[in-house]
Amino acid sequence: RTIGDRIGEAKASGNLGNTLKILGQFDEAVVCCQRHLDISQEQGDKIGEARALYNIGNVYHAKGKHLSWNMAQDPGCLPQEVKETLQKASEYYERNLSLVKELGDRAAQGRAYGNLGNTQYLLGNFSEAIAFHKERLAIAKEFGDKAAERRAYSNLGNAHIFLRRFDISAEYYKKTLQLSRQLKDQAVEAQACYSLGNTYTLLQDYERAIEYHLKHFVIAQELGDR
């Protein structure tokens, strides 16, 4: 501010916002991220504007998750305050998405699609969540980003469960399992086995359910995860 560096001030405000978000001070975080947005727009800095929109979306997303965890609600069965917060997150992600499309930033589009999928899932809009996660999956494959691909499969599996398409969920969870093994991530592998166990229980294929729950059990023991 002293040297009149507006872009520097905008970036510093954004960093403050992100830090306050991590500290759980969501309302103060929004104020700082909004300042980042305002200055970026005033300076015609499209990249800064896109980043600020994404960051504000993240603050509302984190606030919404924080509120819903405290209430231990199922996706879609949310109190009004939580719904409104997640809808705000979604709106900022949508604005971010249209701007990064304009800028031709595919990696940023991938992040926006993933977060839109997650917010729509929490809001109980499972079909919309699936559409966004499919877009996320396509971009992850484009970049060879195996970790993002794995997350997309997992999210697609979760959303199909709520639409009672258990067989489709099982296929997505199997892909999650395959990738978690490739990535040598045992905790995620255990999680995928657990999801598959539950899905096969819903499909009333109890032999297979037992098989996956045993795999989950073995990994949990190996990891010493009580």
Q: What is the pLDDT of residue 75?
A: 77
Q: What are 118-138's pLDDT values in tens digits?
A: 999 999 999 999 999 999 999
| Residue 113: closest CA among 209, 16, 88, 121 | 121
Q: What is the pLDDT of residue 100?
A: 97
> Above pLDDT 70, what percent of the chain?
99
Q: What are 18-56's pLDDT values in tens digits?
A: 999 999 999 999 999 999 999 999 999 999 999 999 999
Q: What is the pLDDT of residue 169?
A: 97
Chain position carrying tokens 């991530």: 185
Q: What is the pLDDT of residue 76?
A: 72
Q: Name the more confident of 68 and 107.
A: 107
First to last CA, the chain: 51
- For 186, half-sphere exposure in the C-beta direction (CA atoms, 13 angstrom radius) is 10
Domain ranges in the chain are: 1-71+78-144, 145-225
> Are 68 and 122 within 8 A, CB to CB?
yes
Q: What are 43-92's pLDDT values in tens digits?
A: 999 999 999 999 999 999 999 999 887 776 677 778 899 999 999 999 99
For helices 46-71 and 26-42, angle between their N-to-C axes, nearest 10 degrees: 160
- Fold match flag (1-71+78-144 vs 145-225): yes
| Residue 193: closest CA among 209, 205, 206, 207 | 209
Q: Please give the class, per CATH, of domain 1-71+78-144.
A: mainly alpha
At 165, list the tokens.
């398409």
What does residue 2 show for φ and ψ, rounded to 5 degrees? -60, -40
Q: Domain spanning 145-225 has what CATH number?
A: 1.25.40.10
Q: What is the pLDDT of residue 78?
A: 87
Q: What is the pLDDT of residue 73?
A: 66
